[in-house]
A = this chain, B = another copy of it.
Amino acid sequence: MYNRDRIDKVIRLDTELINIVEEAFTDLSTKQVTMPPIMRIDVPENNGEVDIKSAYIEGLDSFAVKLSSGFFNNPKMGLPSANGMMILLSAVTGEPLAVFADNGLLTDLRTAAAGAAASRLLSREDSHTAGIIGTGSQARYQLKALMNVRQIEKVLVYGRSEEKAEIYKREMESELGIPVEIKTAREVVENSDVVVTTTPSTEPVIEVDWLHEGLHITAMGSDAEHKQELSSQALEKAGLFVCDVVEQSTRLGELRSCSNNEVINSAVELGEITSGMKKGRSSYDQITICDLTGTGAQDTAIARYVYQLLDTKEDDDHEGS
Contacts and interface: CB of A to CB of B under 8 A. Distances in A.
Interface of A: 1, 34, 36-37, 39-43, 45-46, 48, 50, 52, 54-56, 58-59, 63, 65, 67, 69-71, 74, 77, 79, 82-83, 85, 87, 89, 91-96, 99, 101
Contact of A52 (B39, B42, B92): B39
Contacts of A71: 92-94
Contacts of A83: 93-96
Contact of A89 (B39, B45, B69, B89): B69
Contacts of A87: 67, 85, 87
A74 B48 CA distance: 38
16 contacts: A39-B39, A39-B52, A41-B63, A45-B58, A46-B91, A46-B93, A48-B91, A48-B94, A50-B54, A52-B54, A69-B94, A71-B94, A74-B94, A83-B93, A83-B95, A99-B101
Contacts of A101: 96, 99
Q: Which 8 A-B pairs have the closest CB atoms?
A: A69-B94, A71-B94, A39-B39, A83-B94, A1-B1, A36-B39, A43-B91, A71-B93
A178 B72 CA distance: 56
A89 to B, nearest CB: 6
B65 A93 contact: no
B85 A50 contact: no
Residue of A39, A55, A63 contacting most chain B CB atoms (<10 Å): A39
Nearest to A59: B45
A50 B89 contact: yes
B52 A52 contact: yes
Contact of A99 (B69, B79, B99): B99
Nearest to A37: B39
A63 to B, nearest CB: 7
A85 B98 CA distance: 12
Residue of A50, A87, A94 contacting most chain B CB atoms (<10 Å): A94
A72 to B, nearest CB: 10
B52 A77 contact: no
Contacts of A65: 41, 50, 52, 67
